[in-house]
Amino acid sequence: MRDDTLKQALAEQARYGHAEGIEVLHARFHRHRFATHAHDTWAIGAVIRGAKDSMSDTQQPAIVRAGEVYAIPPHVAHAGMSIGDAGCEYVMLYVPDAEWRMQCDIHHVSPHVLSRPVPMRGAIAPFTQFAALALQDAPVSSAFASEWALVCDAVLGALSGRHASAPSTAVSADRRLRDARAYLQAFSSRNVTLDELAREASLSASELCRRFTAAFGLSPHRYQLVLRLKTAKRLLLDGVTPADAALSTGFADQSHLGRHFKAMFGVTPGAVARRGSAKTF
């Protein structure tokens, strides 16, 4: 039993890096479950070992297995967990929308071509090599462009000619919901109560919650929490300490930030802060 416990502990590892605007997560998880969240960027993932459920906003299982690559568009709510007893090892690249669309244009494929997992074992090595570069304590920035090009060639080059139609993931939101979202963005450094937000949107609290969740994939409370966590991450990358980042984003303390931060990003605030203090780009 102790050997099993040790194996599971060793399976829970995550490293975070940053390379020329692309964030990198190289993780091995056994028990960790990601809380529902959404990113401003594309999340481009490659599973190295085991399998995971990316749990898209359709609430249906989205299993990704070893050797498969997939992509989640910006602002699409999702969660995630490993599948099976062996856990899961994977690399996730968080790529700005403009960069991903440019690369897709270059290779003549739709940005949504990876909306379903695609078997692509030849892309695993470029993914891991790019991650290894980004995770170095003193990365050589001149190598980023060539390594990123290898990733794109391995993934998008292999998909040239497959023009997947872009699925419609956005739900039409009326002005009141857009106003509510803008209000949360404007006051992302503090807790905005549901009643306060409902008054801003001229809706009842229950109606706002129902409509907001349908439009944006996250409840108002969850949307606000994600905004605060993203702000905290930016502060950490700029050299702010975890304690000060927690204070600046309305968390009760560093421990409170840490629990939510790891649930969303898979790494601790301290791990991101260390990357921020060491970055040379």
Q: Where residue 114 falls among pLDDT bands split at 50, 70, 90?
A: very high
Q: Same domain, yes or no, for 7 and 81? A: yes
CB 227 within 8 A of CB 212: no
Q: Same domain, yes or no, for 155 and 182? A: no
Last residue of a domain, one of 134, 159, 184: 159
Count of structural domains, the chain: 2
**pLDDT of the residue at 277:** 64
Alpha-carbon gap, residue 106 to 109, rounded angstroms: 8
Domain ranges, residue 240: 175-278
**pLDDT of the residue at 92:** 95
> Does residue 169 belong to any structural domain of this protein?
no
Last residue of a domain, one of 133, 159, 185: 159
What does pTM read for this prediction? 0.76
Write the CATH number for 268.
1.10.10.60
Q: Where residue 280 falls among pLDDT bands split at 50, 70, 90?
A: very low
> Does residue 168 belong to any structural domain of this protein?
no
Q: Same domain, yes or no, for 268 and 200? A: yes
Q: Where residue 9 falls among pLDDT bands split at 50, 70, 90?
A: very low
Alpha-carbon gap, residue 18 to 187, rounded angstroms: 27
**Percent of the chain at pLDDT exceeding 90:** 44
Alpha-carbon gap, residue 71 to 86, rounded angstroms: 23
Write the CATH number for 111.
2.60.120.10
Q: Same domain, yes or no, for 210 and 247? A: yes
Alpha-carbon gap, residue 218 to 257, rounded angstroms: 19
Residue 184 has pLDDT above 90, yes or no: yes
